[in-house]
Chain A
Amino acid sequence: MTSSESPAPSAASGGAPDALHARAMDDLRYIRQTMEGAAAFTALSGWGGVVVGVTAFPAAYLAARAATHRAWMLVWLIEAVIGALLGVGMTVRKARAARQQLFGRPGRKFALTFATPMAAGAILTIPLYYGGMTAILPGTWLLLYGTAFATAGAFSVSAVPVMGLSFMVAGAAALAAPAAWGNVFMAAGFGALHIVFGALIARKHGG
Protein backbone atom coordinates (compact mmCIF):
# COMPACT_ATOMS: atom_id res chain seq x y z
CA MET A 1 0.00 0.00 0.00
CA THR A 2 1.36 3.38 -0.88
CA SER A 3 0.48 6.57 0.87
CA SER A 4 -1.42 7.76 -2.17
CA GLU A 5 -3.93 5.03 -1.60
CA SER A 6 -5.56 6.84 1.24
CA PRO A 7 -7.99 4.69 3.12
CA ALA A 8 -11.64 5.15 2.35
CA PRO A 9 -13.17 3.60 5.40
CA SER A 10 -16.70 4.92 5.04
CA ALA A 11 -17.03 3.55 1.57
CA ALA A 12 -15.56 0.28 2.63
CA SER A 13 -17.50 -0.08 5.79
CA GLY A 14 -20.46 -1.80 4.30
CA GLY A 15 -23.41 -1.95 6.62
CA ALA A 16 -21.79 -2.00 10.03
CA PRO A 17 -20.16 1.31 10.81
CA ASP A 18 -20.79 0.92 14.54
CA ALA A 19 -18.98 -2.38 14.74
CA LEU A 20 -16.13 -0.94 12.71
CA HIS A 21 -15.94 2.08 14.94
CA ALA A 22 -15.88 -0.10 18.02
CA ARG A 23 -13.20 -2.29 16.57
CA ALA A 24 -11.07 0.72 15.64
CA MET A 25 -11.42 2.22 19.12
CA ASP A 26 -10.59 -1.12 20.64
CA ASP A 27 -7.54 -1.47 18.43
CA LEU A 28 -6.27 1.98 19.37
CA ARG A 29 -6.81 1.22 23.06
CA TYR A 30 -4.92 -2.05 22.70
CA ILE A 31 -2.01 -0.36 20.94
CA ARG A 32 -1.82 2.29 23.64
CA GLN A 33 -1.94 -0.24 26.46
CA THR A 34 0.73 -2.39 24.85
CA MET A 35 2.98 0.60 24.31
CA GLU A 36 2.49 1.73 27.91
CA GLY A 37 3.27 -1.69 29.27
CA ALA A 38 6.36 -2.02 27.10
CA ALA A 39 7.52 1.54 27.57
CA ALA A 40 8.04 1.28 31.32
CA PHE A 41 11.32 -0.30 30.31
CA THR A 42 12.51 3.11 29.16
CA ALA A 43 11.22 5.33 31.97
CA LEU A 44 14.70 5.72 33.43
CA SER A 45 15.73 9.31 32.84
CA GLY A 46 18.90 9.88 30.85
CA TRP A 47 18.91 13.59 31.62
CA GLY A 48 18.61 12.65 35.28
CA GLY A 49 21.86 10.70 34.87
CA VAL A 50 23.53 13.70 33.26
CA VAL A 51 22.43 16.05 36.06
CA VAL A 52 23.53 13.61 38.76
CA GLY A 53 26.87 13.27 36.97
CA VAL A 54 27.37 17.03 36.97
CA THR A 55 26.79 17.25 40.73
CA ALA A 56 29.42 14.55 41.34
CA PHE A 57 32.29 16.83 40.27
CA PRO A 58 31.87 19.52 42.95
CA ALA A 59 31.26 16.70 45.43
CA ALA A 60 34.56 15.06 44.47
CA TYR A 61 36.30 18.44 44.76
CA LEU A 62 34.89 19.02 48.24
CA ALA A 63 35.62 15.46 49.29
CA ALA A 64 39.24 15.76 48.17
CA ARG A 65 39.62 18.83 50.39
CA ALA A 66 37.89 17.28 53.39
CA ALA A 67 40.15 17.32 56.45
CA THR A 68 38.70 14.31 58.21
CA HIS A 69 37.21 10.95 57.24
CA ARG A 70 34.00 12.13 58.82
CA ALA A 71 33.83 15.22 56.61
CA TRP A 72 34.72 13.15 53.54
CA MET A 73 31.97 10.68 54.36
CA LEU A 74 29.48 13.47 54.93
CA VAL A 75 30.20 15.03 51.54
CA TRP A 76 29.50 11.77 49.72
CA LEU A 77 26.45 10.95 51.82
CA ILE A 78 24.94 14.34 50.96
CA GLU A 79 25.86 13.81 47.30
CA ALA A 80 24.19 10.39 47.41
CA VAL A 81 20.97 11.89 48.75
CA ILE A 82 21.05 14.72 46.17
CA GLY A 83 21.79 12.25 43.40
CA ALA A 84 19.01 9.89 44.46
CA LEU A 85 16.47 12.74 44.64
CA LEU A 86 17.51 14.08 41.24
CA GLY A 87 17.61 10.67 39.57
CA VAL A 88 14.28 9.52 40.96
CA GLY A 89 12.67 12.92 40.41
CA MET A 90 13.74 13.13 36.77
CA THR A 91 12.62 9.54 36.16
CA VAL A 92 9.19 10.28 37.60
CA ARG A 93 9.03 13.36 35.36
CA LYS A 94 10.01 11.40 32.29
CA ALA A 95 7.41 8.74 33.02
CA ARG A 96 4.72 11.41 33.51
CA ALA A 97 5.66 13.34 30.41
CA ALA A 98 5.45 10.18 28.32
CA ARG A 99 2.31 9.12 30.23
CA GLN A 100 4.01 5.91 31.15
CA GLN A 101 3.21 3.88 34.15
CA LEU A 102 6.19 4.15 36.50
CA PHE A 103 5.30 1.13 38.57
CA GLY A 104 4.03 -1.19 35.94
CA ARG A 105 5.53 -4.64 35.98
CA PRO A 106 8.93 -3.72 34.49
CA GLY A 107 9.19 -0.61 36.67
CA ARG A 108 8.52 -2.56 39.85
CA LYS A 109 11.02 -5.24 38.91
CA PHE A 110 13.62 -2.65 38.06
CA ALA A 111 13.16 -0.89 41.41
CA LEU A 112 13.32 -4.10 43.44
CA THR A 113 16.33 -5.49 41.63
CA PHE A 114 18.09 -2.14 41.84
CA ALA A 115 17.43 -1.79 45.56
CA THR A 116 19.03 -5.09 46.56
CA PRO A 117 22.72 -4.37 45.72
CA MET A 118 22.17 -0.80 46.90
CA ALA A 119 21.07 -2.12 50.29
CA ALA A 120 24.14 -4.36 50.40
CA GLY A 121 26.29 -1.31 49.68
CA ALA A 122 24.64 0.70 52.44
CA ILE A 123 25.10 -2.11 54.94
CA LEU A 124 28.75 -2.65 53.98
CA THR A 125 29.46 1.06 54.34
CA ILE A 126 28.82 0.99 58.10
CA PRO A 127 31.51 -1.50 59.19
CA LEU A 128 33.96 -0.22 56.58
CA TYR A 129 33.56 3.34 57.82
CA TYR A 130 33.73 2.51 61.53
CA GLY A 131 36.51 0.03 60.93
CA GLY A 132 38.60 2.82 59.42
CA MET A 133 38.60 1.31 55.95
CA THR A 134 37.26 4.34 54.15
CA ALA A 135 39.95 3.84 51.53
CA ILE A 136 38.03 0.97 49.97
CA LEU A 137 34.66 2.72 50.10
CA PRO A 138 34.90 4.33 46.63
CA GLY A 139 35.61 0.97 45.01
CA THR A 140 32.87 -0.74 47.02
CA TRP A 141 30.30 1.91 46.17
CA LEU A 142 31.13 1.95 42.48
CA LEU A 143 31.10 -1.84 42.33
CA LEU A 144 27.72 -2.23 44.04
CA TYR A 145 26.12 0.73 42.30
CA GLY A 146 27.26 -0.86 39.06
CA THR A 147 25.84 -4.21 40.13
CA ALA A 148 22.49 -2.53 40.81
CA PHE A 149 22.32 -1.16 37.26
CA ALA A 150 23.81 -4.26 35.67
CA THR A 151 21.11 -6.48 37.19
CA ALA A 152 18.13 -4.12 37.17
CA GLY A 153 19.15 -3.16 33.64
CA ALA A 154 17.80 -6.51 32.50
CA PHE A 155 14.38 -4.83 32.71
CA SER A 156 15.47 -1.74 30.86
CA VAL A 157 17.14 -0.63 27.65
CA SER A 158 20.51 -2.18 26.82
CA ALA A 159 22.48 0.96 27.66
CA VAL A 160 21.54 0.51 31.33
CA PRO A 161 23.24 -2.84 32.02
CA VAL A 162 26.23 -1.68 29.98
CA MET A 163 26.43 1.38 32.23
CA GLY A 164 26.24 -0.93 35.23
CA LEU A 165 29.13 -3.03 33.96
CA SER A 166 31.18 0.13 33.35
CA PHE A 167 30.60 1.20 36.97
CA MET A 168 31.68 -2.26 38.11
CA VAL A 169 34.89 -1.99 36.10
CA ALA A 170 35.51 1.45 37.62
CA GLY A 171 34.91 -0.03 41.07
CA ALA A 172 37.30 -2.91 40.49
CA ALA A 173 39.93 -0.48 39.22
CA ALA A 174 39.42 1.75 42.25
CA LEU A 175 39.91 -1.20 44.58
CA ALA A 176 43.15 -2.10 42.82
CA ALA A 177 44.46 1.47 42.66
CA PRO A 178 46.17 3.44 45.44
CA ALA A 179 43.75 4.77 48.04
CA ALA A 180 44.67 8.36 47.25
CA TRP A 181 42.92 8.06 43.88
CA GLY A 182 39.56 7.35 45.51
CA ASN A 183 38.04 10.75 44.78
CA VAL A 184 39.27 10.67 41.20
CA PHE A 185 37.52 7.33 40.68
CA MET A 186 34.40 8.72 42.31
CA ALA A 187 34.43 11.67 39.88
CA ALA A 188 35.16 9.41 36.92
CA GLY A 189 32.43 6.95 37.88
CA PHE A 190 29.61 8.96 39.41
CA GLY A 191 30.51 11.99 37.30
CA ALA A 192 31.74 10.98 33.86
CA LEU A 193 29.98 7.60 33.47
CA HIS A 194 26.66 9.11 34.54
CA ILE A 195 27.02 11.91 32.02
CA VAL A 196 28.11 9.68 29.13
CA PHE A 197 25.45 7.01 29.61
CA GLY A 198 22.81 9.53 30.67
CA ALA A 199 23.31 11.44 27.43
CA LEU A 200 23.19 8.19 25.47
CA ILE A 201 19.92 7.12 27.09
CA ALA A 202 18.44 10.61 26.71
CA ARG A 203 19.29 10.69 23.02
CA LYS A 204 18.15 7.21 22.16
CA HIS A 205 15.23 6.75 24.51
CA GLY A 206 13.43 10.03 24.73
CA GLY A 207 14.82 11.99 27.66
Chain B
Amino acid sequence: MEEQRGTGAGGGGDGPVKGARAGGRAPSSHAPDLDRLIHERLRLGIVSALAVNESLSFADLKKLLNTSDGNLSVHARKLEEAQYVACTKSFEGRLPRTEYRLTTAGRRALERYLEHMEALIRATRES
Protein backbone atom coordinates (compact mmCIF):
# COMPACT_ATOMS: atom_id res chain seq x y z
CA MET B 1 0.00 0.00 0.00
CA GLU B 2 2.72 2.37 0.96
CA GLU B 3 4.33 2.55 -2.42
CA GLN B 4 1.17 3.98 -3.89
CA ARG B 5 1.28 6.99 -1.68
CA GLY B 6 1.56 10.22 -3.51
CA THR B 7 1.26 8.70 -6.93
CA GLY B 8 -2.49 9.06 -7.19
CA ALA B 9 -4.32 11.92 -8.78
CA GLY B 10 -4.74 13.79 -5.55
CA GLY B 11 -2.67 15.25 -2.83
CA GLY B 12 -3.27 14.09 0.67
CA GLY B 13 -0.12 12.04 0.93
CA ASP B 14 1.57 15.12 2.24
CA GLY B 15 -0.43 15.37 5.39
CA PRO B 16 -3.76 16.98 6.01
CA VAL B 17 -4.68 19.02 3.01
CA LYS B 18 -8.09 20.54 3.17
CA GLY B 19 -9.29 21.84 -0.09
CA ALA B 20 -8.39 21.92 -3.64
CA ARG B 21 -4.89 23.07 -4.15
CA ALA B 22 -3.33 19.79 -3.28
CA GLY B 23 -3.45 18.34 -6.73
CA GLY B 24 -1.07 20.52 -8.65
CA ARG B 25 0.46 17.49 -10.27
CA ALA B 26 -2.78 16.11 -11.51
CA PRO B 27 -2.84 15.45 -15.22
CA SER B 28 -5.93 17.42 -16.16
CA SER B 29 -6.25 20.95 -14.92
CA HIS B 30 -9.62 21.86 -16.34
CA ALA B 31 -11.02 23.15 -13.07
CA PRO B 32 -8.45 24.62 -10.74
CA ASP B 33 -10.67 24.72 -7.67
CA LEU B 34 -11.86 21.16 -7.94
CA ASP B 35 -11.26 19.12 -4.84
CA ARG B 36 -8.94 16.48 -6.22
CA LEU B 37 -9.12 14.49 -3.05
CA ILE B 38 -12.65 13.43 -3.78
CA HIS B 39 -12.52 13.83 -7.52
CA GLU B 40 -11.03 10.37 -7.71
CA ARG B 41 -13.80 7.83 -8.33
CA LEU B 42 -13.36 5.49 -5.41
CA ARG B 43 -12.79 8.32 -2.94
CA LEU B 44 -15.93 10.01 -4.23
CA GLY B 45 -17.72 6.71 -3.68
CA ILE B 46 -16.46 6.39 -0.11
CA VAL B 47 -17.54 9.91 0.75
CA SER B 48 -20.95 9.48 -0.93
CA ALA B 49 -21.66 6.20 0.84
CA LEU B 50 -20.65 7.66 4.21
CA ALA B 51 -22.81 10.71 3.59
CA VAL B 52 -25.95 8.61 3.92
CA ASN B 53 -24.75 6.42 6.78
CA GLU B 54 -23.70 7.30 10.27
CA SER B 55 -20.79 4.94 9.87
CA LEU B 56 -19.78 2.04 7.65
CA SER B 57 -17.29 -0.73 8.24
CA PHE B 58 -14.41 -1.49 5.92
CA ALA B 59 -16.30 -4.60 4.79
CA ASP B 60 -19.49 -2.60 4.12
CA LEU B 61 -17.60 -0.13 1.98
CA LYS B 62 -15.74 -2.83 0.13
CA LYS B 63 -18.99 -4.56 -0.76
CA LEU B 64 -20.82 -1.36 -1.62
CA LEU B 65 -18.10 0.01 -3.84
CA ASN B 66 -17.21 -3.36 -5.26
CA THR B 67 -13.49 -2.97 -4.82
CA SER B 68 -10.48 -4.76 -3.38
CA ASP B 69 -9.01 -4.54 0.12
CA GLY B 70 -5.84 -2.86 -1.09
CA ASN B 71 -7.54 -0.31 -3.26
CA LEU B 72 -10.04 0.65 -0.59
CA SER B 73 -7.46 0.99 2.17
CA VAL B 74 -5.20 3.20 0.05
CA HIS B 75 -7.99 5.59 -0.80
CA ALA B 76 -9.59 5.49 2.62
CA ARG B 77 -6.24 6.44 4.10
CA LYS B 78 -5.94 9.42 1.78
CA LEU B 79 -9.32 10.64 2.96
CA GLU B 80 -8.34 9.98 6.53
CA GLU B 81 -5.12 11.97 6.15
CA ALA B 82 -7.13 14.87 4.81
CA GLN B 83 -9.45 14.45 7.77
CA TYR B 84 -12.45 13.96 5.51
CA VAL B 85 -13.21 10.66 7.17
CA ALA B 86 -12.52 9.45 10.68
CA CYS B 87 -11.73 5.85 11.31
CA THR B 88 -11.98 3.80 14.46
CA LYS B 89 -10.42 0.38 14.84
CA SER B 90 -11.71 -2.21 17.24
CA PHE B 91 -11.98 -5.95 17.63
CA GLU B 92 -15.04 -8.04 17.11
CA GLY B 93 -14.00 -11.22 18.80
CA ARG B 94 -10.69 -11.89 17.12
CA LEU B 95 -11.44 -10.04 13.92
CA PRO B 96 -10.30 -6.47 13.58
CA ARG B 97 -13.10 -4.12 12.64
CA THR B 98 -12.56 -0.75 11.03
CA GLU B 99 -15.39 1.75 11.07
CA TYR B 100 -15.43 4.85 8.95
CA ARG B 101 -17.49 7.95 9.38
CA LEU B 102 -17.65 11.21 7.50
CA THR B 103 -16.28 14.25 9.32
CA THR B 104 -17.80 17.71 9.07
CA ALA B 105 -14.93 18.70 6.78
CA GLY B 106 -15.69 15.68 4.59
CA ARG B 107 -19.37 16.51 4.39
CA ARG B 108 -18.57 20.07 3.46
CA ALA B 109 -16.13 18.85 0.83
CA LEU B 110 -18.82 16.68 -0.74
CA GLU B 111 -21.31 19.54 -0.72
CA ARG B 112 -18.74 21.78 -2.34
CA TYR B 113 -17.99 19.12 -4.91
CA LEU B 114 -21.68 18.71 -5.72
CA GLU B 115 -22.10 22.46 -6.06
CA HIS B 116 -19.10 22.54 -8.29
CA MET B 117 -20.47 19.82 -10.56
CA GLU B 118 -23.83 21.56 -10.71
CA ALA B 119 -22.13 24.83 -11.57
CA LEU B 120 -20.22 23.09 -14.34
CA ILE B 121 -23.39 21.67 -15.81
CA ARG B 122 -25.18 25.01 -15.56
CA ALA B 123 -22.27 26.81 -17.18
CA THR B 124 -22.07 24.47 -20.15
CA ARG B 125 -25.82 24.69 -20.59
CA GLU B 126 -25.75 28.46 -20.64
CA SER B 127 -22.89 28.77 -23.06
Report how far A138 CA is from B112 CA in the complex, Å: 52
Answer yes or no: B26 CB below 8 A from chain A CBs.
Answer: no
Within 8 A of A (CB), among B89-117: 110, 112, 114-117
Partner-contacting stretch, out of A32-40, A65-73, A86-94, A171-179: A32-40
Partner-contacting stretch, out of A12-20, A118-126, A144-152: A12-20
Chain A residues positioned under 8 Å from B48 (CB to CB): 30-31, 34-35, 38
Please count how many residues in chain A sit with their CB below 8 Å of the partner chain's CB atoms: 34
Answer yes or no: B53 CB below 8 A from chain A CBs.
Answer: yes
Partner-contacting stretch, out of B2-10, B71-79, B80-88, B118-126: B118-126
Report how far A24 CA is from B34 CA in the complex, Å: 11
Q: Is B54 within 8 A of A205, CB to CB?
A: yes
Q: Is A24 within 8 A of B121, CB to CB?
A: yes
Interface of B is mostly: helix
Q: Which of A17, A31, A41, A157: most chain B CB closer than 10 A?
A: A31
Give A163-202 as 1s and 0s: 1 = Cβ < 8 Å from B's Cβ atoms.
0000000000000000000000000000000000000000
Taking the nearest CB of chain B, how far is it from the CB of A99, in angstroms? 12
B contacts, CB < 8 Å to A: 19-21, 30-35, 41, 44-45, 48-56, 60, 63-65, 110, 112, 114-121, 123-127
Q: List 23 A-B contacts (CB under 8 A).
A: A1-B112, A7-B34, A7-B116, A7-B120, A8-B33, A10-B123, A10-B124, A12-B31, A12-B32, A12-B33, A13-B124, A17-B124, A21-B120, A24-B118, A24-B121, A25-B121, A31-B110, A34-B48, A35-B48, A38-B64, A42-B53, A105-B63, A204-B54
